[in-house]
Amino acid sequence: MLDENRENLFDLSGKNALVTGVSRGLGQYLSRALASAGADLVITSRDKDDCRGFVDEIRDMGRSAHAFSLDVRREESIQNLGNELTAKGLQVDILVNNAGCNVRKPSLEITWEDWNTVLDTNLRGMFFMCQTFARPMLERRSGKIINIGSATCVFGMGGIVPYSASRGGVMQLTRALADEWGSFGVNVNVLAPGWFRTQQNDILYQDERWYDYICDRIPFGRPGKPNDLDGAVVFLASDASQYVTGQVLLVDGGFTTGSTRAILEK
């Protein structure tokens, strides 16, 4: 029989989760999962009005939800968010750094602007979000930081070189922060989805040959569904992962195993 204090390891009641990039896609999937586990939400987008309908959805679930504008590429925007939350008395117990972008081009066509846009969003912005919201966590000696990466944290992919570089950086950033902040009771991990259909990659899914190719290389034979991420994000946000830090949790249906299933079956 479980110790009474350990029966609710996955319960997030009484916790506030800040999730970035929630206007659409994975940000909303992750937010729903956290709210379902009991967390109240602070959600952000570059235009907070884009989150208005989603705020209502979370409140209909019986959870508190607040939306704020945030551009992680701008230092003052991150600082202003921190000040706004402090002024409203909103403590951040769980930080989910989900905001991200991509540029799909052959490497010889990538511009300085392309590179800076992707790295500033996916890596620099993530670091300064961690820095800003870890400060009170370190003082309280408690907090969960979940940096959203992708399968490209661990392998490279042509045609999205800046994105792949940024995701490799996310893995190393997370490991370094986990090492530095572990003694303060703050967990820092990467949640790395595989192939999930989002607005950012929707154009790929419209190509039937590409879709079949990808499915052939996923042992489960399909891309991820939104609720495939639920357990992983709640685990990393909850007391269940209290002794887990500096790790990359891949939720990819086995894609990064390098499966040769399709080749062997033909």
Catalytic residues, by residue number, are 163
Report the alpha-carbon distance of residue 80 to residue 75 in Å, rounded. Answer: 9
Residue 160 · residue 202 · CB < 8 Å: no
- What amino acid is encoded at 135 in this protein? R
Give the orientation angle of helix 230-237 with respect to helix 26-36, to 10 degrees.
Answer: 60
Residue 75 · residue 128 · CB < 8 Å: yes
- What amino acid is encoded at 182 in this protein? G
**Cα dihedral sign for 138, 75, 161, 105?**
positive
* Both tokens assigned to 153: 């944290």
Phi, psi of 58 (to 5 degrees): -65, -40
Report the alpha-carbon distance of residue 83 to residue 259 in Å, rounded. Answer: 47
Pairs from 52-57 (Cβ < 8 Å, separation ≥ 24): 54/22, 54/23, 54/28, 57/32
Strands (E), the chain: 16-19, 40-45, 65-69, 94-97, 143-148, 186-193, 248-251
* Both tokens assigned to 104: 């799909």
